Amino acid sequence: MPTLDPRLSTTLVDLNEPQRRAVTHRDGPLLVLAGPGSGKTRVITRRAAYLVQTGVPPHNVLAITFTNKAADEMRRRIDALGVSRGMWVHTFHALGVRLLREFGPLARVQAGFSIYDEADQLRVVKEAMALCGVNESLVRPEAAQSAIGAAKNRLESPAEYVERAEFFDTQVIARVYEAYEQLLEQRNAVDFDDLLMRVALVLRAHPEIVERLNIRFRYVLIDEYQDTNHAQYVIAHYLAQHHRNICATGDPDQSIYAWRGADLNNILDFERDYPDAVVVRLEQNYRSTGRILQVASALIAGNRRRKHKDLWTENAAGEPAEVWRFSEGQAEAEEIGGTIVRLHAAGRPYSDVAVFYRVNALSRGLEEALRARGIPYKIARGVAFYNRKEIRDTLAYLRVSVNPADEVALRRIINTPPRGIGSATVGRLLAAAERSRRPLLEVLRDPIEQAALKTAGKKVRAFVELLDRIQAATTGTVAQAVSATLTLSGLEAALEKERDDGGEDRLANVRELVTAAQRYDQEAEAPSLADFLNRVALVSDQDAVDESAGVVMLMTLHAAKGLEFPIVFIVGLEQGLLPHENALRERGDIEEERRLCFVGITRARERIILSHAAQRVIRGVPTPRAPSQFLRELDPAATVVHSFERALADGRVLGAASNRVRAEAPDADGFVPLDDHLPPEESRRRSRRKTRWSRDEFADREDLEIIAAAAEVGAASSPYGAWKPGTFVRHDVYGVGQVVWIRPGGGQTRAAIQFAGCGEKTFILELAPIQKLERR
DNA sequence: TGGAGCGTAATTTTT
DNA sequence: TTACGCTCCA
């Protein structure tokens, strides 16, 4: 019996009963179902501390999260409890990198491997398609990319994928997948999915490695278990195989990554996988007011695939949730901006406020409104920095010097900045590489090839010499390597010139990269250029959320998970946006959209405002919008509706259906004429009044449906009413085809057309050069 | 070779 | 609205 750690009482203090049970559970599988705001992070960190304080060496504990930010946060909090030394706290992907570094050869990767992000990956997919002779109009490269990613999540090799491929296009993709894998191998590169897949496959094939890892990691904690995909599930399974000390925490109601392969069944079936599992439910919420919780609970009750929880709180009931309705999307942004100004004037720090949206495109209007009012804000977009051209260019140089086989990076920098090696020369070199089956860089170095190129050959030689000089300069600290690369490559000079010519100051951005490298040099345990590059590759948007920045935060609903703010706005609660159009389609998942909305609402501590507009400018086109079906699913007893609609010049009121007495026929534009017997002033006054939704009123209130109907009529009255599946059409480029399906929505009409020569393609009819063929 | 200019297509969420 | 790819011209 180990002596009890004196710190143990601190570890267990201020925990409620279920929390304490979860923290002090020692051996065997444990499932913690943690509702929003129920102190889940606290439980995980305390549990890690508890294990250590009761005698488990820290290096025997492995904690896995999904985001770097969560990992850092957990490490920090465990640190604060004084026990983190030697403990492994990683994201699944970072764990993948570390393990691949250890047993890489078993997974067909060599030291210094590159990690390809989505953009790199797409390049390789395109290359693979070209290699297979697959035309990009036959299979969209993005489609192939996501099919390959999905296959990897299922741990399917190209050969296994082929077996399942029934249809022509999947057979094509199977060939592309195979070529893609070969290209990655030649380049000593892995993509994001490989970081999981290859680890999972190694574990499956090598019991001795599993054994070794099981000895090393006696306790495994996995956070956000509801977001694990099949590959992650398999990894978790093997990591806990012998000792079965797996602690999974999560909440099925907050699973929002099914589109990326997350399998809700992993958490729903945990008790089947581990029949002896102890299950702890954390249902007491410490975050939100009673009404916020009430509204959220009513909403999520609409889902079938879940584990029931009774969320409750001792917090005050608070204010009702608010639904704000606008006639136009811009008014929504303006009103939110104005409200934030007033809140701030009343003493609220900006950081008390966050605005969430379903799609990034919605941030623009908000940004403009905030900027116009001088409200400081930040958008949670971590990758934005690393996606800048100048940053990617710099990193490409570094990648080549760590991994000379990295052809994607090599091709990126071969003529950046311009050095007279144009596409014709590159084309010749690539052909030579393919002919002689040698890596591109080897061909570049070949004096014979250089000579064959005549004048360009000299430039190629200068380029490889440059690469050698850069490689020689990358031996010191990472920061030194980065700045030497900038100077030697000529990037610095090029950017300087661009700035002096009055262009953007992109030099400042690459200087920031040097700063980031300096920070890394100081913080990393064993800094190396390769590790720095790996780390940079795994940066995500979520990591950029800085709640302590003192500014209003703007982010997608996905990025909002795990955060909390006193005042939360969720904008664009409209059909097609939330739930998103894709989810409304045949195989879409409405429940996931509902969870997304649930996640958003439960971020709020004091006040939640859900807004929608009857019309919104999308891609420059004013589009009628119907309110989200989720608005109808909120608990009306805890909800209040506030209309900000305004009459138009001609007296019509967009979206002000709340003033209606009975439904009227929509006019030709698809808008319901409202209150046109009232003078505009009266109409405006009425539409501004605050309405409280009583249950009855809510029940037979038609307004939402009416607006929805108006939107639909708007779409149906489009010139494509007569287009049906089977209708023959002619496209200026693809020729004659036949409509497969047609769907109005969001002011645009989408249709899939099957063409004789080149397969099925989807169009926005309003924009595509396409006509109906008339029967004659 | 490389830049400018044009047309076309696309837009969900991200480790 | 923007991004990308393609063609054309200096």
User: Residues A148-176: pLDDT tens digits?
Assistant: 999 999 999 999 988 877 777 778 888 89
Q: Which whole number is the average pLDDT over A197-225?
A: 95
The question of whether A223 is a catalytic residue gets the answer: yes
Give the gyration radius of chain A's Cα atoms.
29
Say whether pLDDT at A765 is over 90. no
CA of residue A426 to C1' of nucleotide C9, angstroms: 22
The question of whether A254 is a catalytic residue gets the answer: yes
CA of residue A92 to C1' of nucleotide B15, angstroms: 8
Give the 3-state DSSP-derived string for A7-51, with helices as H, strands as E and coil as C.
CHHHHHCCCCHHHHHHHHCCCCCEEEEECCCCCHHHHHHHHHHHH
3-state secondary structure of A514: helix
Nucleotide nearest to A361 (CA to C1'): B11
Residue A69's pLDDT is: 85
Check whether the bond before A417 is cis (ω within 30° of 0). Answer: yes
Alpha-carbon span A567 to A2, nearest angstrom: 47
Say whether pLDDT at A670 is over 60. no
CA of residue A94 to C1' of nucleotide B7, angstroms: 42
Q: Which whole number is the average pLDDT over A57-61?
A: 93
Question: Which of the four pLDDT bands, split at 50, 70 and 90, describes residue A756?
Answer: low
Residues 604-663 of A with CB under 7 A from strand C: 619-620
* b/e burial code for range A343-379 (CB count within 10 A of at least 16 → b): bbeeeeebbbbbbbbbeeebbebbbebbeeeebebbb
Task: Tell if A3 CB is < 7 Å from nucleic strand B.
Answer: no
Residues 530-549 of A with CB under 7 A from strand B: 538, 540-543
DSSP A62-126: EEEESSHHHHHHHHHHHHHTT--TT-EEEEHHHHHHHHHHHHGGGGT--TT-EEE-HHHHHHHHH
| Tokens 């080149």, residue located | A758
Task: Tell if A91 CB is < 7 Å from nucleic strand B.
Answer: yes
- Phi then psi for A768, rounded to 5 degrees? -85, 150
Nucleotide nearest to A619 (CA to C1'): C1
What is residue A678's DSSP assignment?
S
Question: Which tokens hold the place of A765?
Answer: 């009819």
For A460-515, the pLDDT digits (tens) are 999 999 999 999 998 899 999 999 999 999 888 888 887 777 666 778 888 888 99
The question of whether A224 is a catalytic residue gets the answer: yes
Q: Which whole number is the average pLDDT over A267-273?
A: 93
Q: Which whole number is the average pLDDT over A572-598?
A: 86
Residue A688's pLDDT is: 32
The question of whether A40 is a catalytic residue gets the answer: yes
Task: Tell if A92 CB is < 7 Å from nucleic strand B.
Answer: yes
Alpha-carbon span A228 to A65, nearest angstrom: 10
For A238-247, the pLDDT digits (tens) are 999 999 999 9
For A340-397, the pLDDT digits (tens) are 999 999 999 999 999 999 988 888 889 889 988 999 988 877 566 777 788 888 999 9
Residue A661's pLDDT is: 24
Q: Which whole number is the average pLDDT over A544-571?
A: 87
Task: Tell if A232 CB is < 7 Å from nucleic strand B.
Answer: no
Share of chain A above pLDDT 90, in %: 46
Q: Which whole number is the average pLDDT over A613-623?
A: 82
Question: Which of the four pLDDT bands, split at 50, 70 and 90, describes residue A732?
Answer: low
CA of residue A640 to C1' of nucleotide B4, angstroms: 55
Residue A14's pLDDT is: 87
CA angle (A381 as vertex; A375, A386 as ends), nearest 5: 130
CA of residue A194 to C1' of nucleotide B14, angstroms: 16
Q: Find the catalytic residue in A254, A425, A477, A556.
A: A254
Question: Which of the four pLDDT bands, split at 50, 70 and 90, describes residue A748?
Answer: low
Task: Tell if A364 CB is < 7 Å from nucleic strand B.
Answer: no
Is the four-CA dihedral A702, A707, A709, A710 of positive or negative sign? positive
For A714, residues 6+ apart whose C-beta sits below 8 A from its C-beta are A624, A666, A669, A670, A671, A747
The question of whether A474 is a catalytic residue gets the answer: no
Residue A23's pLDDT is: 95
Residue A707's pLDDT is: 42
Is residue A224 within 8 A of residue A257, CB to CB? The reply is no
Question: Which tokens hold the place of A483?
Answer: 């700045």
Residue A747's pLDDT is: 53
Residues 256-295 of A with CB under 7 A from strand B: 259-260
The question of whether A41 is a catalytic residue gets the answer: yes
Residue A741's pLDDT is: 66
DSSP A204-243: HH-HHHHHHHHHH-SEEEESSGGG-BHHHHHHHHHHTTTT
Give the 3-state DSSP-derived string for A611-640, with helices as H, strands as E and coil as C.
EEECEEEECCEEEECCECHHHHHCCHHHEE
Question: Which tokens hold the place of A81?
Answer: 């409890």
Query: Which of A634, A714, A694, A645 minimizes the C-alpha distance to A674?
Result: A645
| Tokens 């946006």, residue located | A577
Give the count of beta carbons closer than 10 Å to the beta carbon of residue A736.
13
Say whether pLDDT at A15 is over 60. yes
Q: Find the catalytic residue in A7, A10, A24, A41.
A: A41
Say whether pLDDT at A12 is over 90. no
Give the count of beta carbons closer than 10 Å to the beta carbon of residue A489.
23
Residues 528-557 of A with CB under 7 A from strand C: none
pTM of the model: 0.80
Residue with nearest Cα to nucleotide B13 C1': A558
CA of residue A93 to C1' of nucleotide B15, angstroms: 7
- Looking at per-residue confidence, does A345 or A10 come out higher? A345
Question: Which tokens hold the place of A593?
Answer: 């959209």
What is residue A420's DSSP assignment?
S
Share of chain A above pLDDT 70, in %: 81
Question: Which of the four pLDDT bands, split at 50, 70 and 90, describes residue A620?
Answer: confident
Is residue A602 within 8 A of residue A292, CB to CB? The reply is yes
How far is Cα of residue A662 from the mean position of the Cα atoms in its chain?
43
Alpha-carbon span A349 to A33, nearest angstrom: 33
Alpha-carbon span A318 to A290, nearest angstrom: 6
Q: Which whole number is the average pLDDT over A5-9?
A: 73
Nucleotides of C under 7 A from a protein CB: 1
For A391, residues 6+ apart whose C-beta sits below 8 A from its C-beta are A385, A509, A510, A513
Residue A80's pLDDT is: 83
Residue A310's pLDDT is: 92
3-state secondary structure of A749: strand
3-state secondary structure of A563: coil
Say whether pLDDT at A735 is over 60. yes
Residue A90's pLDDT is: 93
Residue A647's pLDDT is: 52
Is the four-CA dihedral A8, A13, A19, A21 of positive or negative sign? positive
Is residue A245 within 8 A of residue A260, CB to CB? The reply is no
CA of residue A402 to C1' of nucleotide C9, angstroms: 40
Residue A739's pLDDT is: 72
Max mean pLDDT range (A486-495, A614-623, A687-696): A486-495
CA of residue A576 to C1' of nucleotide B11, angstroms: 13
The average confidence (pLDDT) of chain A is: 82
Residues 380-419 of A with CB under 7 A from strand C: none
For A275-319, the pLDDT digits (tens) are 999 999 999 999 999 999 999 999 999 998 888 889 999 999 999
Q: Which whole number is the average pLDDT over A116-125?
A: 89
- Looking at per-residue confidence, does A721 or A535 come out higher? A535
Say whether pLDDT at A21 is over 90. yes
- Looking at per-residue confidence, does A210 or A69 come out higher? A210
Q: Find the catalytic residue in A461, A603, A750, A761.
A: A603
